Amino acid sequence: MEQTFIMIKPDGVQRGLVGEIISRFEKKGFTLKGLKLQTVEQSFAEKHYEDLATKPFFSGLVEYIISGPVVAMIWEGKGVVATGRKIIGATNPAASEPGTIRGDFAIHVGRNVIHGSDSVESATKEIGLWFPDGPN
């Protein structure tokens, strides 16, 4: 069964959006398969975002992700990677539709509340990085 990696970023945790976000994935019908609150180190955040290492916003992105605890999750279900991205909304909240998580809860691209894998391949890689010992 298809799985995706979803992370509630430090702003989402600090703003008390964890329950709301989990609820949206649950109500859609997806199954929570792994969940942990974790504060990651710089090298780990750089690894997670390694594909963006050449972007001008990379260092700011890494600083943001390590600024506080995040909620790392594995969600499972039919089409969960693509549908998860739809539930999350466009990268820049200025373009995210109302009804999506970013559309409802964010304004700035640099504080966009949540991460979701962009392909089945990325999901496999990210689940392996964040849950190296399985979904515990």
Residues that bind ligand DAT (CB under 6 A): 52, 57, 61, 91, 109-110, 112, 115, 118
Q: Which residues contact 24 (CB under 8 A, 6 or more apart)?
A: 87, 101
Question: Where along the sequence are the contacts to Mg ion (CB under 5 A)?
Answer: 118
Q: Which does 39 bind (CB under 5 to 8 A by kind): ligand DAT, Mg ion, none?
A: none
* Catalytic position from the list 115, 117, 123, 127: 115
The Cα–Cα gap between 59 and 56 comes to 8
Q: Which does 91 bind (CB under 5 to 8 A by kind): Mg ion, ligand DAT, none?
A: ligand DAT
| Number of other CB atoms surrounding residue 52 within 10 Å | 13
> What angle, rounded to 10 degrees, do the helices at 80-88 and 18-28 form?
140
Q: Which does 104 bind (CB under 5 to 8 A by kind): ligand DAT, Mg ion, none?
A: none
- List residues forming the annotated binding site for ATP: 9, 57, 85, 91, 102, 112
